[in-house]
Structure 1
Amino acid sequence: MIAIFLKSLIIGYSGAVMPGPMFTYTVDKSLHHGAKSGLLVSAGHVFLELILVILIYLGAGKYLTTDTAKTIIGLLGGIILVYLGFGMMKEVYLNQISLDPKSSKDEKQGSMLLAGIVLSASNPYFIIWWSVVGLALIMNAYASFGIMGVLAFYIGHIISDISWFSFVSVLVSRTRSLINLKVYKVIIVALAACLIFFGVSFFAASLRYIL
Protein backbone atom coordinates (compact mmCIF):
# COMPACT_ATOMS: atom_id res chain seq x y z
CA MET A 1 0.00 0.00 0.00
CA ILE A 2 2.99 2.29 0.58
CA ALA A 3 3.96 1.74 -3.06
CA ILE A 4 0.51 2.92 -4.20
CA PHE A 5 0.80 6.00 -1.98
CA LEU A 6 4.26 6.91 -3.31
CA LYS A 7 3.25 6.26 -6.93
CA SER A 8 0.21 8.49 -6.51
CA LEU A 9 2.32 11.19 -4.85
CA ILE A 10 4.88 11.24 -7.68
CA ILE A 11 2.25 11.21 -10.44
CA GLY A 12 0.37 13.93 -8.57
CA TYR A 13 3.45 16.18 -8.50
CA SER A 14 4.06 15.60 -12.21
CA GLY A 15 0.62 17.05 -12.91
CA ALA A 16 0.53 19.74 -10.23
CA VAL A 17 3.76 21.45 -11.29
CA MET A 18 2.57 21.93 -14.88
CA PRO A 19 1.43 25.53 -15.58
CA GLY A 20 -2.32 25.91 -15.91
CA PRO A 21 -5.35 27.89 -14.71
CA MET A 22 -4.96 26.69 -11.11
CA PHE A 23 -1.31 27.73 -10.98
CA THR A 24 -2.05 31.12 -12.57
CA TYR A 25 -4.94 31.84 -10.20
CA THR A 26 -2.91 30.75 -7.16
CA VAL A 27 -0.06 33.12 -8.04
CA ASP A 28 -2.53 36.00 -8.50
CA LYS A 29 -4.30 35.39 -5.18
CA SER A 30 -0.98 34.90 -3.36
CA LEU A 31 0.13 38.34 -4.54
CA HIS A 32 -3.15 39.82 -3.31
CA HIS A 33 -3.87 37.87 -0.13
CA GLY A 34 -0.71 36.11 0.99
CA ALA A 35 0.41 32.57 1.78
CA LYS A 36 -3.03 31.22 2.79
CA SER A 37 -4.23 31.42 -0.82
CA GLY A 38 -2.50 28.26 -2.05
CA LEU A 39 -3.98 26.16 0.75
CA LEU A 40 -7.50 27.52 0.17
CA VAL A 41 -7.46 27.12 -3.61
CA SER A 42 -5.98 23.61 -3.40
CA ALA A 43 -8.57 22.64 -0.77
CA GLY A 44 -11.34 23.37 -3.28
CA HIS A 45 -9.39 21.43 -5.90
CA VAL A 46 -8.96 18.31 -3.76
CA PHE A 47 -12.63 18.42 -2.72
CA LEU A 48 -13.63 18.12 -6.38
CA GLU A 49 -11.09 15.32 -6.77
CA LEU A 50 -12.78 13.47 -3.92
CA ILE A 51 -16.12 13.74 -5.73
CA LEU A 52 -14.50 12.49 -8.95
CA VAL A 53 -12.82 9.56 -7.21
CA ILE A 54 -16.19 8.51 -5.78
CA LEU A 55 -17.98 8.93 -9.14
CA ILE A 56 -15.28 7.04 -11.06
CA TYR A 57 -15.30 4.29 -8.43
CA LEU A 58 -19.06 4.00 -8.95
CA GLY A 59 -18.63 3.74 -12.72
CA ALA A 60 -19.28 7.27 -13.98
CA GLY A 61 -15.85 7.67 -15.60
CA LYS A 62 -17.03 6.53 -19.04
CA TYR A 63 -19.65 9.31 -19.17
CA LEU A 64 -17.10 12.03 -18.40
CA THR A 65 -15.07 11.21 -21.53
CA THR A 66 -17.96 11.48 -24.01
CA ASP A 67 -17.87 14.20 -26.67
CA THR A 68 -20.95 15.82 -25.10
CA ALA A 69 -19.27 16.10 -21.69
CA LYS A 70 -16.04 17.42 -23.22
CA THR A 71 -17.96 20.04 -25.20
CA ILE A 72 -20.03 21.31 -22.26
CA ILE A 73 -17.06 21.42 -19.89
CA GLY A 74 -14.85 23.13 -22.48
CA LEU A 75 -17.40 25.79 -23.43
CA LEU A 76 -18.37 26.67 -19.86
CA GLY A 77 -14.77 26.45 -18.67
CA GLY A 78 -13.57 28.70 -21.47
CA ILE A 79 -16.15 31.35 -20.60
CA ILE A 80 -15.28 31.22 -16.88
CA LEU A 81 -11.53 31.56 -17.46
CA VAL A 82 -11.95 34.44 -19.92
CA TYR A 83 -14.25 36.18 -17.41
CA LEU A 84 -11.69 35.77 -14.60
CA GLY A 85 -8.89 37.02 -16.84
CA PHE A 86 -10.74 40.17 -17.87
CA GLY A 87 -11.72 40.73 -14.24
CA MET A 88 -8.03 40.81 -13.27
CA MET A 89 -7.25 43.24 -16.10
CA LYS A 90 -10.15 45.43 -15.00
CA GLU A 91 -8.65 45.67 -11.49
CA VAL A 92 -5.37 46.88 -12.98
CA TYR A 93 -7.12 49.37 -15.29
CA LEU A 94 -9.18 50.80 -12.42
CA ASN A 95 -6.11 50.83 -10.15
CA GLN A 96 -7.82 48.56 -7.60
CA ILE A 97 -4.71 46.57 -6.69
CA SER A 98 -2.05 47.31 -4.12
CA LEU A 99 1.15 45.75 -2.78
CA ASP A 100 -0.18 46.34 0.72
CA PRO A 101 -2.29 43.27 1.66
CA LYS A 102 -4.28 45.37 4.15
CA SER A 103 -5.41 47.80 1.44
CA SER A 104 -6.30 45.15 -1.14
CA LYS A 105 -9.91 44.09 -1.43
CA ASP A 106 -11.02 41.61 1.20
CA GLU A 107 -11.91 38.24 -0.22
CA LYS A 108 -13.77 35.65 1.77
CA GLN A 109 -11.97 32.36 2.19
CA GLY A 110 -14.99 30.55 0.77
CA SER A 111 -14.60 32.31 -2.55
CA MET A 112 -11.08 30.91 -3.01
CA LEU A 113 -12.30 27.46 -2.02
CA LEU A 114 -15.07 27.77 -4.60
CA ALA A 115 -12.58 29.04 -7.18
CA GLY A 116 -10.47 25.91 -6.67
CA ILE A 117 -13.52 23.79 -7.47
CA VAL A 118 -14.63 25.90 -10.44
CA LEU A 119 -11.17 26.20 -12.00
CA SER A 120 -10.69 22.44 -11.79
CA ALA A 121 -14.16 21.60 -13.08
CA SER A 122 -13.79 24.09 -15.95
CA ASN A 123 -10.62 22.39 -17.20
CA PRO A 124 -11.63 19.60 -19.62
CA TYR A 125 -8.13 18.09 -19.47
CA PHE A 126 -8.49 17.70 -15.70
CA ILE A 127 -11.72 15.71 -16.15
CA ILE A 128 -10.25 13.62 -18.98
CA TRP A 129 -7.15 12.81 -16.90
CA TRP A 130 -9.26 11.53 -14.05
CA SER A 131 -11.55 9.57 -16.38
CA VAL A 132 -8.66 7.79 -18.10
CA VAL A 133 -5.44 7.83 -16.05
CA GLY A 134 -7.18 8.29 -12.72
CA LEU A 135 -9.59 5.45 -13.48
CA ALA A 136 -6.73 3.02 -14.19
CA LEU A 137 -4.90 4.02 -11.01
CA ILE A 138 -8.03 3.74 -8.88
CA MET A 139 -8.89 0.30 -10.25
CA ASN A 140 -5.33 -0.90 -9.73
CA ALA A 141 -5.35 0.35 -6.14
CA TYR A 142 -8.71 -1.32 -5.50
CA ALA A 143 -7.58 -4.61 -7.03
CA SER A 144 -4.56 -4.64 -4.74
CA PHE A 145 -5.97 -3.49 -1.39
CA GLY A 146 -9.67 -2.78 -1.84
CA ILE A 147 -11.11 0.48 -0.54
CA MET A 148 -8.00 1.08 1.59
CA GLY A 149 -5.90 1.05 -1.58
CA VAL A 150 -8.17 3.69 -3.13
CA LEU A 151 -7.84 5.76 0.05
CA ALA A 152 -4.02 5.48 -0.06
CA PHE A 153 -4.08 6.59 -3.70
CA TYR A 154 -6.31 9.58 -2.93
CA ILE A 155 -4.26 10.71 0.08
CA GLY A 156 -1.02 10.52 -1.90
CA HIS A 157 -2.52 12.51 -4.72
CA ILE A 158 -3.99 15.32 -2.63
CA ILE A 159 -0.79 15.70 -0.59
CA SER A 160 1.03 16.49 -3.84
CA ASP A 161 -1.58 19.11 -4.79
CA ILE A 162 -1.80 20.80 -1.40
CA SER A 163 1.95 20.85 -0.76
CA TRP A 164 2.82 22.18 -4.22
CA PHE A 165 0.27 25.00 -4.32
CA SER A 166 1.00 25.92 -0.71
CA PHE A 167 4.72 26.10 -1.57
CA VAL A 168 3.97 28.33 -4.59
CA SER A 169 1.76 30.56 -2.47
CA VAL A 170 4.34 30.97 0.32
CA LEU A 171 7.12 31.66 -2.19
CA VAL A 172 5.09 34.30 -4.05
CA SER A 173 3.86 35.99 -0.87
CA ARG A 174 7.40 36.14 0.60
CA THR A 175 8.89 37.70 -2.54
CA ARG A 176 6.15 40.22 -3.34
CA SER A 177 7.84 42.80 -1.08
CA LEU A 178 10.68 42.88 -3.63
CA ILE A 179 8.32 43.94 -6.42
CA ASN A 180 7.34 47.55 -7.11
CA LEU A 181 3.80 48.51 -8.11
CA LYS A 182 4.51 48.87 -11.84
CA VAL A 183 6.08 45.42 -12.06
CA TYR A 184 3.22 44.08 -9.94
CA LYS A 185 0.67 45.38 -12.45
CA VAL A 186 2.60 43.86 -15.35
CA ILE A 187 2.60 40.49 -13.57
CA ILE A 188 -1.16 40.66 -12.96
CA VAL A 189 -1.82 41.54 -16.62
CA ALA A 190 0.43 38.67 -17.74
CA LEU A 191 -1.40 36.23 -15.46
CA ALA A 192 -4.73 37.52 -16.73
CA ALA A 193 -3.57 37.01 -20.32
CA CYS A 194 -2.65 33.42 -19.44
CA LEU A 195 -6.12 32.75 -18.04
CA ILE A 196 -7.72 34.25 -21.16
CA PHE A 197 -5.44 32.12 -23.36
CA PHE A 198 -6.42 28.95 -21.48
CA GLY A 199 -10.08 29.92 -21.72
CA VAL A 200 -9.95 30.56 -25.47
CA SER A 201 -8.06 27.29 -25.97
CA PHE A 202 -10.71 25.30 -24.06
CA PHE A 203 -13.49 27.06 -25.95
CA ALA A 204 -11.85 26.46 -29.34
CA ALA A 205 -11.26 22.78 -28.57
CA SER A 206 -14.95 22.38 -27.69
CA LEU A 207 -16.03 24.05 -30.94
CA ARG A 208 -14.08 21.40 -32.85
CA TYR A 209 -16.25 18.71 -31.26
CA ILE A 210 -19.39 20.61 -32.33
CA LEU A 211 -18.17 21.18 -35.88
Structure 2
Amino acid sequence: MEGKNFSFAILKGFRFGLLLQFAVGPMCLIVFQTATAYGFIKGLSVVFAIALVDAFYIALSCVGVAAVMSRPGVQKTVKLIGCIVLVFSGVNTIFSAFHRNLLPDIPLFPDVTGGSLFMKGVVLTASNPLTIIFWSGMFSTQMIENNWKKEQLFLFAAGCVMATIVFLTGVSLIGSMASGFLPSALIQLLNAVVGFVLIGFGIKLLVKKDNARKTEEMA
Protein backbone atom coordinates (compact mmCIF):
# COMPACT_ATOMS: atom_id res chain seq x y z
CA MET A 1 0.00 0.00 0.00
CA GLU A 2 2.85 2.36 0.92
CA GLY A 3 4.64 1.55 -2.33
CA LYS A 4 1.49 2.47 -4.23
CA ASN A 5 1.37 5.83 -2.42
CA PHE A 6 4.99 6.49 -3.36
CA SER A 7 4.29 5.60 -7.02
CA PHE A 8 1.26 7.89 -6.96
CA ALA A 9 3.36 10.76 -5.57
CA ILE A 10 6.04 10.57 -8.25
CA LEU A 11 3.46 10.12 -11.03
CA LYS A 12 1.45 13.08 -9.77
CA GLY A 13 4.63 15.16 -9.66
CA PHE A 14 5.49 14.13 -13.22
CA ARG A 15 2.01 15.06 -14.47
CA PHE A 16 2.12 18.40 -12.67
CA GLY A 17 5.60 19.10 -14.00
CA LEU A 18 4.46 18.41 -17.56
CA LEU A 19 1.51 20.74 -17.08
CA LEU A 20 3.92 23.52 -16.09
CA GLN A 21 6.09 22.83 -19.15
CA PHE A 22 3.16 23.20 -21.55
CA ALA A 23 2.88 26.81 -20.42
CA VAL A 24 5.82 27.57 -22.72
CA GLY A 25 8.24 29.97 -21.10
CA PRO A 26 11.49 31.62 -22.15
CA MET A 27 13.70 28.68 -21.13
CA CYS A 28 11.76 26.35 -23.42
CA LEU A 29 12.44 28.72 -26.31
CA ILE A 30 16.10 28.98 -25.33
CA VAL A 31 16.47 25.18 -25.39
CA PHE A 32 14.90 25.09 -28.86
CA GLN A 33 17.07 27.97 -30.05
CA THR A 34 20.25 26.37 -28.67
CA ALA A 35 19.51 22.98 -30.25
CA THR A 36 18.64 24.63 -33.55
CA ALA A 37 21.88 26.60 -33.63
CA TYR A 38 24.34 24.16 -32.02
CA GLY A 39 22.77 20.69 -32.02
CA PHE A 40 21.02 18.25 -29.68
CA ILE A 41 23.89 17.64 -27.23
CA LYS A 42 24.47 21.31 -26.51
CA GLY A 43 20.73 21.76 -26.20
CA LEU A 44 20.84 19.04 -23.55
CA SER A 45 23.44 21.00 -21.59
CA VAL A 46 20.88 23.80 -21.21
CA VAL A 47 18.18 21.26 -20.27
CA PHE A 48 20.29 19.87 -17.44
CA ALA A 49 21.17 23.38 -16.28
CA ILE A 50 17.45 24.21 -16.02
CA ALA A 51 16.70 20.95 -14.19
CA LEU A 52 19.59 21.54 -11.78
CA VAL A 53 18.42 25.03 -10.82
CA ASP A 54 14.80 23.83 -10.52
CA ALA A 55 15.91 21.01 -8.21
CA PHE A 56 17.98 23.48 -6.16
CA TYR A 57 15.04 25.87 -5.78
CA ILE A 58 12.72 23.01 -4.87
CA ALA A 59 15.19 21.91 -2.18
CA LEU A 60 15.38 25.47 -0.83
CA SER A 61 11.59 25.73 -0.71
CA CYS A 62 11.49 22.52 1.35
CA VAL A 63 13.88 23.88 3.99
CA GLY A 64 11.94 27.08 4.60
CA VAL A 65 13.87 29.63 2.53
CA ALA A 66 10.52 30.76 1.10
CA ALA A 67 9.78 32.50 4.41
CA VAL A 68 12.78 34.77 3.88
CA MET A 69 12.10 35.24 0.16
CA SER A 70 8.55 36.41 0.87
CA ARG A 71 9.75 39.51 2.75
CA PRO A 72 9.01 42.68 0.72
CA GLY A 73 12.56 44.07 0.92
CA VAL A 74 14.11 40.81 -0.24
CA GLN A 75 11.56 40.44 -3.04
CA LYS A 76 12.31 43.91 -4.41
CA THR A 77 16.04 43.23 -4.55
CA VAL A 78 15.62 39.80 -6.09
CA LYS A 79 13.17 41.04 -8.71
CA LEU A 80 15.43 43.93 -9.67
CA ILE A 81 18.44 41.63 -10.11
CA GLY A 82 16.36 39.13 -12.07
CA CYS A 83 14.99 41.88 -14.29
CA ILE A 84 18.49 43.19 -15.07
CA VAL A 85 19.76 39.69 -15.94
CA LEU A 86 16.79 38.90 -18.19
CA VAL A 87 16.72 42.24 -20.01
CA PHE A 88 20.49 42.32 -20.52
CA SER A 89 20.48 38.72 -21.79
CA GLY A 90 17.56 39.49 -24.08
CA VAL A 91 19.20 42.56 -25.59
CA ASN A 92 22.46 40.63 -25.98
CA THR A 93 20.60 37.79 -27.72
CA ILE A 94 18.98 40.22 -30.18
CA PHE A 95 22.35 41.80 -30.96
CA SER A 96 23.88 38.34 -31.42
CA ALA A 97 21.09 37.36 -33.84
CA PHE A 98 22.34 40.12 -36.13
CA HIS A 99 26.01 39.22 -35.52
CA ARG A 100 26.63 42.17 -33.23
CA ASN A 101 27.95 42.24 -29.68
CA LEU A 102 26.32 44.37 -27.02
CA LEU A 103 29.64 44.62 -25.19
CA PRO A 104 32.42 43.86 -27.70
CA ASP A 105 35.17 43.67 -25.08
CA ILE A 106 33.15 41.83 -22.43
CA PRO A 107 30.83 39.33 -24.14
CA LEU A 108 28.27 37.73 -21.84
CA PHE A 109 28.94 34.14 -22.94
CA PRO A 110 32.04 34.33 -25.14
CA ASP A 111 32.71 30.74 -26.21
CA VAL A 112 30.01 28.53 -27.65
CA THR A 113 30.82 25.36 -25.72
CA GLY A 114 28.78 22.91 -23.70
CA GLY A 115 30.14 24.54 -20.54
CA SER A 116 29.29 28.10 -21.54
CA LEU A 117 25.79 27.09 -22.65
CA PHE A 118 25.30 25.21 -19.39
CA MET A 119 26.26 28.33 -17.43
CA LYS A 120 23.95 30.43 -19.60
CA GLY A 121 21.11 28.06 -18.72
CA VAL A 122 21.97 28.27 -15.02
CA VAL A 123 22.12 32.09 -14.99
CA LEU A 124 18.87 32.59 -16.91
CA THR A 125 16.93 29.96 -14.94
CA ALA A 126 18.22 31.37 -11.65
CA SER A 127 17.19 34.90 -12.62
CA ASN A 128 13.79 34.45 -10.96
CA PRO A 129 14.40 32.79 -7.58
CA LEU A 130 10.94 33.90 -6.43
CA THR A 131 9.81 30.55 -7.86
CA ILE A 132 10.92 29.23 -4.45
CA ILE A 133 7.75 30.82 -3.04
CA PHE A 134 5.65 29.09 -5.70
CA TRP A 135 7.12 25.67 -4.89
CA SER A 136 6.74 26.23 -1.17
CA GLY A 137 3.04 26.96 -1.58
CA MET A 138 2.60 24.02 -3.93
CA PHE A 139 4.28 21.56 -1.54
CA SER A 140 2.25 22.82 1.41
CA THR A 141 -0.94 22.28 -0.59
CA GLN A 142 0.07 18.78 -1.66
CA MET A 143 0.98 17.74 1.91
CA ILE A 144 -2.37 18.94 3.25
CA GLU A 145 -4.51 17.53 0.42
CA ASN A 146 -2.83 14.11 0.26
CA ASN A 147 -1.69 13.76 3.88
CA TRP A 148 1.81 13.05 2.60
CA LYS A 149 5.00 12.49 4.55
CA LYS A 150 8.34 14.02 3.60
CA GLU A 151 9.31 10.95 1.56
CA GLN A 152 6.23 11.27 -0.64
CA LEU A 153 6.78 15.00 -1.03
CA PHE A 154 10.34 14.29 -2.15
CA LEU A 155 9.04 11.88 -4.80
CA PHE A 156 6.50 14.46 -5.97
CA ALA A 157 9.35 16.97 -6.38
CA ALA A 158 11.46 14.35 -8.19
CA GLY A 159 8.57 13.76 -10.58
CA CYS A 160 8.39 17.50 -11.33
CA VAL A 161 12.10 17.64 -12.15
CA MET A 162 11.85 14.49 -14.29
CA ALA A 163 9.04 16.10 -16.27
CA THR A 164 11.27 19.12 -16.94
CA ILE A 165 14.07 16.89 -18.24
CA VAL A 166 11.80 14.71 -20.42
CA PHE A 167 9.85 17.60 -21.95
CA LEU A 168 12.83 19.83 -22.66
CA THR A 169 14.86 16.91 -24.02
CA GLY A 170 12.06 16.47 -26.54
CA VAL A 171 12.21 20.18 -27.34
CA SER A 172 15.97 19.91 -27.86
CA LEU A 173 15.52 16.91 -30.15
CA ILE A 174 12.90 18.73 -32.25
CA GLY A 175 15.13 21.81 -32.42
CA SER A 176 18.15 19.80 -33.60
CA MET A 177 16.08 18.10 -36.31
CA ALA A 178 14.54 21.39 -37.40
CA SER A 179 17.96 22.97 -37.92
CA GLY A 180 18.47 20.83 -41.02
CA PHE A 181 15.68 22.45 -43.00
CA LEU A 182 15.07 25.81 -41.34
CA PRO A 183 16.54 28.66 -43.44
CA SER A 184 19.21 30.75 -41.74
CA ALA A 185 16.98 33.83 -41.88
CA LEU A 186 14.30 32.00 -39.86
CA ILE A 187 16.86 30.83 -37.30
CA GLN A 188 18.06 34.42 -37.03
CA LEU A 189 14.46 35.54 -36.47
CA LEU A 190 14.01 32.84 -33.80
CA ASN A 191 17.08 34.14 -31.97
CA ALA A 192 15.64 37.66 -32.04
CA VAL A 193 12.25 36.40 -30.79
CA VAL A 194 13.94 34.66 -27.86
CA GLY A 195 15.69 37.94 -27.03
CA PHE A 196 12.40 39.85 -27.01
CA VAL A 197 10.78 37.13 -24.87
CA LEU A 198 13.56 37.47 -22.29
CA ILE A 199 13.12 41.24 -22.25
CA GLY A 200 9.36 40.74 -21.86
CA PHE A 201 9.82 38.49 -18.85
CA GLY A 202 12.23 41.00 -17.33
CA ILE A 203 9.68 43.80 -17.74
CA LYS A 204 7.03 41.49 -16.28
CA LEU A 205 9.12 41.24 -13.12
CA LEU A 206 9.26 45.04 -12.89
CA VAL A 207 5.49 45.33 -13.38
CA LYS A 208 4.92 42.83 -10.60
CA LYS A 209 7.19 44.87 -8.35
CA ASP A 210 5.26 48.06 -9.13
CA ASN A 211 1.93 46.33 -8.54
CA ALA A 212 3.16 45.04 -5.18
CA ARG A 213 4.15 48.60 -4.23
CA LYS A 214 0.74 49.95 -5.22
CA THR A 215 -0.95 47.28 -3.15
CA GLU A 216 1.13 48.28 -0.11
CA GLU A 217 0.24 51.95 -0.60
CA MET A 218 -3.48 51.20 -0.89
CA ALA A 219 -3.51 48.96 2.20
Give the TM bin, normalised by the shorter chain.
0.7 to 0.9
Question: Equivalent of 1:6, from 4, 8, 11?
Answer: 11
Is 1:77–2:99 an aligned residue pair?
A: no
Q: In 2, are the aligned partners of 1:46 and 1:161 still within 8 Å (CA)?
A: yes
**Which structure 1 residue ranges, 4+ long, deviate > 6 Å from structure 2?**
none
Q: Which residue of 2 aligns with 1:61?
A: 66
The offset of 1:189, in angstroms, is 1.3
TM-score with structure 2 setting the length: 0.79
Q: In 2, are the aligned partners of 1:120 and 1:126 still within 8 Å (CA)?
A: no
Secondary structure at the residue paired with 2:148?
helix
State the identity as a percent. Answer: 21
Q: Distance in 2 between matches of 1:125 and 1:59?
A: 13
Which has the higher mean CA deviation after the structures are superposed, 107-116 or 8-17? 107-116
Question: Equivalent of 1:41, from 33, 37, 46?
Answer: 46
Change (3 A) 1:50 1:179: closer
Q: Which residue of 2 aligns with 1:99?
A: none
Q: In 1, are the aligned partners of 2:66 and 2:132 still within 8 Å (CA)?
A: no
Q: Which residue of 1 aligns with 2:183?
A: 180
Q: Which residue of 2 aligns with 1:155?
A: 158
Which has the higher mean CA deviation after the structures are superposed, 176-185 or 128-137? 128-137
Q: In 2, are the aligned partners of 1:79 and 1:199 still within 8 Å (CA)?
A: yes
| Cα deviations by residue, 1:118-151 (Å, 9 ceiling, x for unpaired) | 22222256333213113433x45995344x3233
Q: In 2, are the aligned partners of 1:65 and 1:131 still within 8 Å (CA)?
A: no
Q: In 2, are the aligned partners of 1:77 and 1:203 still within 8 Å (CA)?
A: no
Q: Which residue of 2 aligns with 1:31?
A: 36
Q: Distance in 2 between matches of 1:150 and 1:110?
A: 32
The offset of 1:114, in angstroms, is 2.5
Where does structure 2 lack aligned partners over 5 or more consecutive residues? 1-5, 102-109, 215-219
The offset of 1:5, in angstroms, is 0.6
Change (3 A) 1:152 1:82: same
The offset of 1:210, in angstroms, is 4.5
Secondary structure at the residue paired with 1:178?
coil
Matched pairs, number: 201
Question: Equivalent of 1:168, from 142, 167, 171?
Answer: 171
Question: Equivalent of 1:127, from 127, 132, 139?
Answer: 132
RMSD: 2.5
Change (3 A) 1:49 1:180: closer
Change (3 A) 1:73 1:37: farther
Q: Distance in 2 between matches of 1:142 and 1:48?
A: 26
Q: Distance in 2 between matches of 1:45 and 1:15?
A: 14
Question: Equivalent of 2:199, from 187, 190, 196?
Answer: 196
